[in-house]
């Protein structure tokens, strides 16, 4: 059993990761991070996951960073969240933010992981767990190369202060979204209490890239989707 700081956004992937780590017997400490995201409703789900798992929960308030994370629909109120099928609507968050790819926050994961490693030092944790999945892995801050390099940096930055074997793990990195949902179903993850939508309104919009991915993954996994969507399906690109 290891003491692990689990970065939990409140989405399907990170919540499933936390349930998996608890099922494996690890001592969990959940960390939610407010980085000024539009969809801060996800943090309510992170808190609820911690309560259900009986794990300590802390929340790092990095909301002031939204000013230097401008230009993304996730952090900048001046940028609209596109529907899937619109220009940029289907781009992964791992890609570089350029015009037409508004759902991207470059370097975000470096910010989140820095907060997690700071907590790992305080808690003398043996690992930080990050909930990326196979479809997240891209060329930048969701790449395995980035995670390896970030861990190497943190082992220098925390030398003499952190657990000597401090590690960074990504337990879901080899799983596709549908496989993550299948795993969550086996672990009895309450999917209705997870949040995915980029818009962060009362219910999932059903139109943004994240909602479409969520809906399609449930279908592919053959698992009942309990999510309430405002739209029954995303509009076509020509609509």
What's the alpha-carbon Rg for the chain, to the nearest Å? 17
Q: How far apart are CA 202 and CA 182, in angstroms?
A: 26
- CA torsion sign for 200, 116, 26, 13 is positive
- pLDDT of residue 4 exceeding 50, the answer is yes
- pLDDT, tens digit, for every residue of 67-92? 888 888 888 888 889 998 654 433 33
For 8-13, what is the mean pLDDT? Answer: 97
**In contact, 130 and 113? CB cutoff 8 Å:** yes
- Go through 161-182 and write b for each residue having 16 or more CB atoms within 10 A of its CB, e for each that does not: ebbeebbbbbbbbebebbbbbb
Q: Can you give the pTM of this predicted structure?
A: 0.90
**In contact, 120 and 128? CB cutoff 8 Å:** yes
Which one, of 202, 230, 200, 237, lies nearest residue 215 by Cα?
A: 230
**In contact, 101 and 93? CB cutoff 8 Å:** no
CA distances from 77 to 41, 199, 214, 236 (A): 16, 10, 23, 25
- pLDDT, tens digit, for every residue of 107-166? 899 999 999 999 999 999 999 999 999 999 988 899 999 999 999 999 999 999 999 999
DSSP 86: B
- pLDDT, tens digit, for every residue of 158-189? 999 999 999 999 999 999 999 999 999 999 99
DSSP 5: E
The pLDDT, as a whole number, for residue 238 is 39
């Amino acid at each position: 059993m290891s003491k692990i700081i689990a970065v939990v956004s409140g989405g399907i992937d990170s919540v499933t990761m936390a349930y998996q780590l608890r099922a494996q017997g690890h001592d969990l400490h959940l960390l939610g991070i407010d980085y000024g995201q539009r969809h801060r409703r996800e943090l309510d789900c992170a808190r609820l996951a911690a309560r259900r798992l009986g794990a300590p929960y802390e929340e790092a308030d990095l909301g002031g960073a939204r000013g230097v994370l401008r230009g993304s629909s996730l952090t900048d109120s001046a940028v609209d969240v596109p529907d899937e099928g619109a220009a940029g609507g289907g781009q992964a968050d791992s890609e570089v933010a350029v015009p037409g790819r508004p759902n991207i926050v470059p370097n975000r994961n470096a910010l989140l992981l820095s907060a997690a490693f700071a907590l790992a030092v305080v808690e003398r944790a043996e690992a930080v767990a990050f909930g990326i999945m196979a479809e997240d892995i891209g060329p930048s801050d969701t790449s395995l190369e980035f995670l390896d390099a970030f861990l190497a940096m943190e082992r220098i930055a925390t030398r003499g202060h952190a657990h000597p074997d401090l590690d960074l793990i990504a337990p879901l990195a080899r799983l596709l979204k549908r496989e993550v949902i299948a795993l969550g179903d086996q672990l009895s993850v309450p999917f209705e209490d997870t949040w995915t939508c980029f818009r962060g309104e009362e219910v999932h919009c059903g139109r943004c890239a994240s909602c479409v991915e969520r809906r399609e993954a449930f279908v592919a996994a053959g698992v009942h989707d309990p999510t309430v969507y405002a739209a029954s399906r995303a509009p076509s690109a020509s609509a």
